[in-house]
Amino acid sequence: MIDLTTTLSNLKLDNPIIPASGTFGYGVEMAELYDLNILGSISIKGTTQNARYGNDLPRIAESSSGVINSVGLQNPGIEKVINYELPNLAKIFHKPVIANISGFSVEEYVYCAERVDKISNVGLIEVNVSCPNVHGGGLAFGVDCEKVAEVTKAVKKVTTKPIYIKLSPNVTDIVSIAKSAEQAGADGLSLINTLLAMRIDIKTRKPILANVMGGLSGAAIFPVALRMVYQVHKAVKIPVIGMGGISKAEDVIEMMLAGASAVQIGAANLIDPLICKSIIEKLPELCERLGIKKLSDIIGAA
Amino acid sequence: MIDLTTTLSNLKLDNPIIPASGTFGYGVEMAELYDLNILGSISIKGTTQNARYGNDLPRIAESSSGVINSVGLQNPGIEKVINYELPNLAKIFHKPVIANISGFSVEEYVYCAERVDKISNVGLIEVNVSCPNVHGGGLAFGVDCEKVAEVTKAVKKVTTKPIYIKLSPNVTDIVSIAKSAEQAGADGLSLINTLLAMRIDIKTRKPILANVMGGLSGAAIFPVALRMVYQVHKAVKIPVIGMGGISKAEDVIEMMLAGASAVQIGAANLIDPLICKSIIEKLPELCERLGIKKLSDIIGAA
Amino acid sequence: MRELVFTIQKNQLIAKHMFNFVLTGDTSDIMKPGQFVNIQVPGFFLRRPFSVCDWRENELTLIYKVVGNGTEALSKMSAGQELSILSGLGNGYELREIKNPFIIGGGAGVPPLYGLAKRLVEKNITPKIILGFNNSDEIFYVNEFKSLGLEVTVTTLDGSYGVKGLVTDVIDNCEYAYVCGPLPMLKAVHKKVSDGQFSFEARMGCGFGVCMGCSVKIKDGYKRICKDGPVLNYSEILWDEI
Amino acid sequence: MRELVFTIQKNQLIAKHMFNFVLTGDTSDIMKPGQFVNIQVPGFFLRRPFSVCDWRENELTLIYKVVGNGTEALSKMSAGQELSILSGLGNGYELREIKNPFIIGGGAGVPPLYGLAKRLVEKNITPKIILGFNNSDEIFYVNEFKSLGLEVTVTTLDGSYGVKGLVTDVIDNCEYAYVCGPLPMLKAVHKKVSDGQFSFEARMGCGFGVCMGCSVKIKDGYKRICKDGPVLNYSEILWDEI
Ligand SMILES: Cc1cc2nc3c(=O)[nH]c(=O)nc-3n(C[C@H](O)[C@H](O)[C@H](O)COP(=O)(O)OP(=O)(O)OC[C@H]3O[C@@H](n4cnc5c(N)ncnc54)[C@H](O)[C@@H]3O)c2cc1C
Ligand SMILES: Cc1cc2nc3c(=O)[nH]c(=O)nc-3n(C[C@H](O)[C@H](O)[C@H](O)COP(=O)(O)OP(=O)(O)OC[C@H]3O[C@@H](n4cnc5c(N)ncnc54)[C@H](O)[C@@H]3O)c2cc1C
Ligand SMILES: Cc1cc2nc3c(=O)[nH]c(=O)nc-3n(C[C@H](O)[C@H](O)[C@H](O)COP(=O)(O)O)c2cc1C
Ligand SMILES: Cc1cc2nc3c(=O)[nH]c(=O)nc-3n(C[C@H](O)[C@H](O)[C@H](O)COP(=O)(O)O)c2cc1C
Ligand code: FES
Ligand code: FES
């Protein structure tokens, strides 16, 4: 028997496969297709303090091996997530979940973190620092070491569960941002979020997305994500959840070799809703073939 | 008749199609396949002061819709380029070429720029600031506004031909770097160079590239390149040469709508050596279909 | 919803840029006309959504228009080739017990209305059919609707067939309409009818409700075109915002 | 070099993971054994290089081993399917007027040596053939070499066929060798022979000399495996650096 278990801080996962925030809703649609309890965990759609409709349509554009989204954090707000979505998910998924939270100010992050920290089926809090920092002029929190540290410290102060900071890849030096988060007390890191991108409709001569720009994800970004996970893992001591373009079991192995303790699967869910299941089913055989007995042994082995 | 001409500073091109530096050698191999004189121009392989062998093999890895290279600026050095490669190219290509130069210090950039400035078939000098800055600790010149400005000013001082600064996409804020180059006197900008990326061999558990990391290019990066060209075009007044993942005539239109005055085609040459020819042949028909009479009219129209 | 493999049986040009696409496979997830399927076209990242035009056991008919690279690639595929399809997506039209509804379609919006008309007829309802096209080259399925025994009015923009003008020019005294077509047509039609069901399009990430890529505001919150739609009710639609 | 379309004629498993791949198309760009072609496998960004095993007018034979995703996909293709191929790449072996050369191959390096042996025989040269494999499951083309009237020595690592051991165990008194195989084999062989031509592999960006992806240092500068190789001469190779 191949051992697929892995650990994120105090959270033990049956396997490293976690659907990524924003690509799995709150699980109910996917539960029509398969028993979600085979998953390592689930990262829920990013939650903000108040309900958000998000950006205007179109919100989706396509590219070679990728999808660009400008959903803009549509979510029902923290109260509804806590009172409705999370209990609902608890009925179909009997393991701790990852609560992904977002904010447009430090106070909003703190508010959301404090609220989800008390929820029993939340095992880990993932703090998405890729939202534009409205107080600080619109660039994302996640591109600035000090802002990342500030958010991390503030969130740590009000929580007891492991805090994972989800980093933006749209930066010159991912390593120094990762280190800032670590020094500020982050228990782990999630990377990467989407790459800032856009498409133009050559017939209308206008950007395809109503929001003009959006985030690129999918297989296209895998080698960039892998590079960042590799660099960050080498530079920090806290665990890293690796994501970005993972679409097959081989990619999971590669991402773990780069240093990921677990992985998230995003865009691939959209085009193949059974992808997480297929990967989990394929992992033992692949490990066997590669001479891996305990999957967590290979974390950062490259 | 559709007018495909476009202008880069004082350089008038018959069409906007330019093979990108490093993906077309010095033209001789491609000349076996077609008459290069159909091209708008050619950007030659990046030249450094001294001959460089570059990095160890393997230097090439693949990804979904992309290729990662760590060639490491193999080139015969500026003297041989000037005395052998450029005159050779002049025999088969009878238009001004783009001399792409690189350096590991400001002095090296200056040396190379001064030398190529005197060569008659050089129409424009493209300064690749993506090389690691050995004096400044190894991060590329191109990720730092001040360094970019310094290189630009120094190169402008010793040259008479248009100077285009080729920007690295591995930055938090491409716009401020573009503006620094403009303020320092750049006549135009080329973007983007490759995205820092890597792959790991899951059998050997080691990075595929001997150099560990390399640069991702090809269709995978098109929406990131398009976004950067769009942002930079909106922020500067000087012309932009757009590149990154262009692989068909439609991509050329899209890149020009985003703000490119001309485009370069890189990785696509490697997998389809006839791609530049095909695109040039397809452009008139496509323009016709899209109601474009003069291609340069659409620059930045999105 | 299920992920299934279908085999192409027929892929035939039936009007300008318009293909009749017949596939063999398990259709048991399709419950209602107006539902759609999401097709993985080889070489493209996202799936392409197409309304079910008609279905029976083991046979699915779609009609698609070549508008971009994905549909272009689809048009080059041939009988025997297999496709991964997410079947049984969306809510579909609810078959209301209204005696003489209108069915109003435009261009690439016509396909689902055929499956709808057929099923209304099976319920002894006799819809009045109004179909709008740009010109005579683009007309398709008029005879198929007629074969159901229905009265069909065709409009063309240039008058090259049927009534010259828009579908809205021939809608008269309509209490209830089943509608599918481009957004400007839907908006124009809503002003001419008192009630009805309208099928919408949106660029989709997933097509089954998890990505929020297709979410539109309605009077009482929002709906996902892919999961809560594509068919929305007249009264819930925010006509000024959509 | 030309970009051409070839049609698959045969794609047949002939040993463990090893496929005999026969294609129909214009072979006029292939001049010498040891040259290679670069195949666009649908769904993959880079082309895949394979040595020409044999060729005649309108027919190209390759032999490939399934080692990764691209060759896996190739192995699933079938007769009638078309492939974009860059044909006539690389320098190939120079056919030297040496009476009794050795031809030494290992595993997936054997294919080009068959085309070479055939053409040497046509020139009345009688090479001695030494082929090394891991075990009997992986052996292929031994009979084809024998059919040329040549003496063939086979080694297997596990002794399951022929001589147990490595090709180097059976090289005796070799003045000139044509060699193709994995790098460790090439290195080992060079120590047992006085002169010869060695065919190398490298991960390639282009395969026709423009990207410098495959450049190796040699005694007098560098050579691109794809354009100046894949066949290098014994004397120019930097055996300690390669
Ligand atoms: C619920 C639904 C039902 C549909 N039913 C039909 C049908 O029965 N017949 C038919 O001809 N067309 C139908 N469409 C439209 C069809 O999905 C698009 O024409 C098709 O996706 C275009 O793909 P492409 O690759 O050719 O275009 P491209 O422009 O190259 O596609 C690029 C991206 O944009 C998306 N896209 C482009 N146009 C549309 C559009 N109008 N709607 C949604 N996504 C789009 C594509 O899916 C793809 O993700 C339907 C759309 C939806 C949402
Ligand atoms: C000049 C030349 C001649 C060759 N002739 C033959 C032959 O006749 N028969 C045969 O079975 N194999 C041959 N090879 C090796 C063959 O090219 C690889 O096995 C093949 O590219 C692997 O593709 P993949 O997608 O299955 O592997 P993957 O590992 O999935 O490929 C990933 C990338 O690495 C490259 N790559 C992987 N292994 C090699 C390799 N050994 N050499 C070069 N590139 C590699 C691929 O081309 C691709 O770009 C030759 C290689 C070269 C350079
Ligand atoms: C439609 C969509 C919505 C997303 N929403 C969120 C979100 O709410 N919060 C977040 O942290 N990341 C969000 N992401 C980013 C993903 O969680 C993931 O980091 C990214 O897509 C890279 O992984 P992938 O290439 O596997 O998709 C979203 C991605 C997509 C495609
Ligand atoms: C093999 C290879 C070598 C390259 N060498 C250079 C170089 O010497 N100088 C340079 O400025 N850019 C170099 N580039 C970058 C390209 O010129 C181009 O900016 C980049 O590849 C993005 O375009 P593409 O996606 O069309 O390839 C190289 C790219 C590749 C793939
Ligand atoms: S397309 Fe994903 S929710 Fe509708
Ligand atoms: S592979 Fe491009 S030069 Fe050899």
Q: Which residues of A touch C86 (CB under 8 A)?
A: 273
Q: How many CB atoms lie within 10 A of CB C212?
A: 26
Starting at the edge strand found earlier in the chain, the sheet holding B240-243 runs B17-19, B262-265, B240-243, B188-191, B163-166, B122-128, B97-101
Q: Which domain holds residue D133?
A: 102-199
Please indicate, yes or no, whether the overall pTM of this predicted structure exceeds 0.90: yes
Q: How many CB atoms lie within 10 A of CB C154?
A: 18
Give B169 Cα–ligand 4 centroid separation in angstroms. Answer: 12
Reported as a pLDDT band with limits 50, 70 and 90, residue C229 is: very high
Tokens of B267: 């990785």
Q: How far does D67 lie from chain C, in Å, by closest CA?
A: 23
A131 is catalytic: yes
Cβ distance A257 to B230 less than 8 Å, yes or no, reads: no
Across the range D155-172, mean pLDDT stands at 94
Dist. CA A94–CA A88, nearest whole Å: 11
Cβ distance D45 to B271 less than 8 Å, yes or no, reads: yes
Check CB contact of D80 with chain C, cutoff 8 Å: no
Cβ distance B57 to D204 less than 8 Å, yes or no, reads: no
Phi, psi of A70 (to 5 degrees): -135, 50
Which DSSP string do the residues of A110-169 spell out, in sequence order? HHHHHHHHT-TTEEEEEEETTSB-TTTTSSBGGG-HHHHHHHHHHHHHT--S-EEEE--S
| Beta strands, E only, D82-144 | 82-89, 102-106, 128-133
Q: How far does A217 lie from chain C, in Å, by closest CA?
A: 11
Tokens of A93: 């998924």
Q: Which of D47, D210, D213 sits opposite B59 (nearest CB)?
A: D213
Is a pLDDT exceeding 90 seen at residue A133? no
Cβ distance A202 to B254 less than 8 Å, yes or no, reads: yes
Tell me if residue B169 falls in helix, strand or coil. Answer: coil
What's the pLDDT at B242?
98
Q: Which residues of D touch C76 (CB under 8 A)?
A: none
* CATH class as words, domain A6-55+72-194+218-298: alpha beta
Across the range D12-18, mean pLDDT stands at 97
Give C114 Cα–ligand 5 centroid separation in angstroms. Answer: 25
Across the range C221-239, mean pLDDT stands at 97
Phi, psi of A261 (to 5 degrees): -85, -25
Catalytic sites of B, residue numbers:
131
Is a pLDDT exceeding 90 seen at residue B136? no
Query: Measured on CA atoms in the order B29, B30, B35, B40, is the torsion positive or negative?
Result: negative
Dist. CA D157–CA D213, nearest whole Å: 33
User: What's chain D's average pLDDT?
Assistant: 96
Which residue from B257, B253, B256, B279 is spatially nearest to B266, judged by alpha carbons? B279
What's the pLDDT at D129?
97
Asked if residue B244 lies in contact with residue B265, where contact means CB atoms within 8 angstroms, the answer is no
Which residue from A195, A57, D212, A230 is spatially nearest to B245, judged by alpha carbons? A195
What's the pLDDT at B135?
73
A-interface mutation test, from C31, C203, C212, C222, most A Cβ less than 10 A away: C212
Using the structure block, give the residue that is written with the tokens 């490697």.
B270
Tokens of D25: 């198309």
Dist. CA A244–CA A263, nearest whole Å: 9
Instruction: Give yes or no: residues D129 and D194 share one domain.
Output: yes
Q: Which residues of B touch D209 (CB under 8 A)?
A: 25, 29
What's the pLDDT at B130?
86
Which residue from A246, A241, A202 is spatially nearest to A224, judged by alpha carbons? A246
Check CB contact of D42 with chain C, cutoff 8 Å: yes
What's the pLDDT at A97?
98
What's the pLDDT at A138?
66
Give A170 Cα–ligand 5 centroid separation in angstroms. Answer: 25
Phi, psi of B154 (to 5 degrees): -65, -40
Q: How far does B68 lie from chain D, in Å, by closest CA?
A: 9
Which residue from B185, A45, B52, C123 is spatially nearest to D212, judged by alpha carbons? B52
Strands C128-133 and D48-51: unpaired
Question: C217 pairs with which residues across the strands?
Answer: C222
Instruction: Give yes or no: residues D26 and D74 share one domain.
Output: yes
What's the pLDDT at A139?
72
Tokens of B190: 């080329």
Report which protein residue has its CA nearest ligand 3's atom 3. A22
What's the pLDDT at A131?
78
Phi-psi region of A171 (alpha: psi -120 to 50; beta: other; left: phi over 0): beta
Starting at the edge strand found earlier in the chain, the sheet holding D82-89 runs D48-51, D36-40, D82-89, D2-15, D18-24, D59-65, D54-56
Cβ distance A29 to C208 less than 8 Å, yes or no, reads: yes
Instruction: Give yes or no: residues C75 and C24 share one domain.
Output: yes
Q: How many CB atoms lie within 10 A of CB C76?
A: 9
Q: Which residues of A touch B221 (CB under 8 A)?
A: 220
Reported as a pLDDT band with limits 50, 70 and 90, residue B139 is: confident
Q: How far does C197 lie from chain A, in Å, by closest CA?
A: 21
Dist. CA A265–CA A273, nearest whole Å: 11
pLDDT tens digit string along A244-255? 999 999 999 999
Asked if residue C89 lies in contact with residue C60, where contact means CB atoms within 8 angstroms, the answer is no
A-interface mutation test, from C29, C46, C69, C219, most A Cβ less than 10 A away: C46
Instruction: Give yes or no: residues C125 and C180 share one domain.
Output: yes
Asked if residue B162 lies in contact with residue B187, where contact means CB atoms within 8 angstroms, the answer is yes
Chain CA centroid to CA B292, Å? 26
Across the range C25-34, mean pLDDT stands at 98
pLDDT tens digit string along C47-93? 999 999 999 999 999 999 999 999 999 999 999 999 999 999 999 99
Q: Which of C44, C202, C206 sits opposite A57 (nearest CB)?
A: C202
Ligand 3 atom with the shortest distance to the CA of C213: 1
Dist. CA B19–CA B36, nearest whole Å: 10
Dist. CA D119–CA D104, nearest whole Å: 16
Domain count, chain C: 2
CATH number at residue D66: 2.40.30.10
pLDDT tens digit string along D186-202? 999 999 999 999 999 99
Strands A60-63 and A66-69: antiparallel
Neighbours of chain D (3+ CB pairs under 8 A): B, C
Q: Which of C1, C216, C222 sits opposite A32 (nearest CB)?
A: C1
Across the range B255-272, mean pLDDT stands at 98
pLDDT tens digit string along B270-302? 999 999 999 999 999 999 999 999 999 999 999
Query: Measured on CA atoms in the order C180, C181, C187, C193, is the torsion positive or negative?
Result: negative
What's the pLDDT at C220?
92
Tell me if residue B233 falls in helix, strand or coil. Answer: helix
Neighbours of chain A (3+ CB pairs under 8 A): B, C
Residue C227 lies in a domain: no
Each as own residue / partner, the long-range contacts of residues D238-242 (CB below 8 Å, 24 or more positions apart, any chain) are D239/D187, D239/D190, D241/D217, D242/D183, D242/D187, D242/D200, D242/D216, D242/D217
Bond prior to D184 in cis (omega within 30° of 0): no
Is a pLDDT exceeding 90 seen at residue D99? no
What's the pLDDT at A137?
66
Is a pLDDT exceeding 90 seen at residue A134? no
Which residue from A86, A81, A97, A68 is spatially nearest to A212, judged by alpha carbons? A68
Asked if residue C33 lies in contact with residue C157, where contact means CB atoms within 8 angstroms, the answer is no
Cβ distance B200 to A258 less than 8 Å, yes or no, reads: yes
Q: Which residues of A touch C227 (CB under 8 A)?
A: 29
pLDDT tens digit string along B34-93? 999 999 999 999 999 999 999 999 999 999 999 999 999 999 999 999 999 999 999 999
Give A22 Cα–ligand 5 centroid separation in angstroms. Answer: 11
Cα angle: B284, vertex B290, B294; to 5 degrees:
55
Check CB contact of A120 with chain B, cutoff 8 Å: no
Asked if residue C234 lies in contact with residue C199, where contact means CB atoms within 8 angstroms, the answer is no
Reported as a pLDDT band with limits 50, 70 and 90, residue B138 is: low
Question: CA gyration radius for chain C?
Answer: 17
Q: How many CB atoms lie within 10 A of CB B124?
A: 27
Asked if residue A214 lies in contact with residue B224, where contact means CB atoms within 8 angstroms, the answer is no
Tokens of A295: 């999957």
Tokens of C24: 């063999």
Question: Which chain C residues touch A if contact means CB-CB below 8 Å?
Answer: 1-3, 40, 44-47, 84, 86, 202-206, 208-217, 222, 227
What's the pLDDT at B137?
66
Tokens of A183: 């020094």
What are the residue ranges of helices labelled H in B141-240?
145-157, 174-183, 222-235
User: What's chain A's average pLDDT?
Assistant: 96
Calculate the CA dihedral of residues D159, D162, D166, D169 and round it to 10 degrees: 120
Cβ distance B273 to D208 less than 8 Å, yes or no, reads: yes
Using the structure block, give the residue that is written with the tokens 């191929």.
D85
Residue C207 lies in a domain: no
Instruction: Give yes or no: residues C124 and C185 share one domain.
Output: yes
Tokens of D50: 């394979």
Check CB contact of A273 with chain C, cutoff 8 Å: yes
Using the structure block, give the residue that is written with the tokens 């496998």.
D41
Reported as a pLDDT band with limits 50, 70 and 90, residue D118 is: very high
Reported as a pLDDT band with limits 50, 70 and 90, residue B154 is: very high
Bond prior to D125 in cis (omega within 30° of 0): no
pLDDT tens digit string along A180-236? 999 999 999 999 999 999 999 999 999 999 999 999 999 999 999 999 999 999 999
Across the range C215-232, mean pLDDT stands at 96
CATH number at residue C117: 3.40.50.80
Residue C130 lies in a domain: yes
* Nearest ligand, CA A69: 3
